[in-house]
Amino acid sequence: MSSHAHRAPRPLADSLALVLWWGWAWQSSGATAHGVSLAEQLSDRTPWWWWMVLVGLMYGPALVGRVPGSFQRLARLTTGGEAGAVAAAGLTLAALAGPALLFGVAGGFVVSELPLAHRWAGFLDVMLSPVAFGVYAAGVVAVLLARRTRRGRDVTA
């Protein structure tokens, strides 16, 4: 007899959000490490197999359905009633900028010979681009809408 409970699969929206975040984290980190724009990263520096992995994750939500516990806690914190809207927006922005800072700037030496100052300049170029601001806006709006929806469900439940 097994003593652990099975978790219910995550809703499709949460699975897609995780996949899209993973794609953003990978591409922004790569562009930062190489000191290139997001467009150049996507067109010239992304291997073919990365697109296959992303498509597999998008069409295989069952694989993403059981996300790690720490991601679930972060999702509950940002979309649940535990944090205010400003804190939820701040955590969302940190989750979008953090991977490029950690993997692109700090760990970029693994894939790039650029000095730290150039990787830092690449980070600023990527994070201050119009595309990044669109991603920030979409992420914050999605989190705030999810907060509103989940709070509405909690109130009526």
Q: Which residue matches tokens 């499709």?
A: 12
Asked if residue 157 belongs to a domain, the reply is no
Question: Quick one: pLDDT at residue 48?
Answer: 75
59 pLDDT exceeds 60?
Answer: no
Indicate the pLDDT class of residue 124, thresholds 50, 70 and 90.
very high
Asked if residue 6 belongs to a domain, the reply is no
Ramachandran bin of 35, using left for φ above 0, alpha for ψ from -120 to 50, beta for the remaining angles: left
Mean of all residue pLDDT scores within the chain? 76
Question: Quick one: pLDDT at residue 156?
Answer: 44
Question: Quick one: pLDDT at residue 128?
Answer: 93
Question: Quick one: pLDDT at residue 70?
Answer: 55
Q: Which residue matches tokens 């067109």?
A: 43
Asked if residue 89 belongs to a domain, the reply is yes
Non-local CB neighbours of 92 within 8 Å, separated by 6+ positions: 78, 136, 139, 140, 143
Asked if residue 4 belongs to a domain, the reply is no
Q: Which domain holds residue 41?
A: 12-152
- Find the mean pLDDT for residues 99-127: 89
Our count of domains for the chain comes to: 1
Structure tokens at 26: 């990978």
Asked if residue 3 belongs to a domain, the reply is no
Indicate the pLDDT class of residue 67, thresholds 50, 70 and 90.
low
User: Which pTM value belongs to this model?
Assistant: 0.67
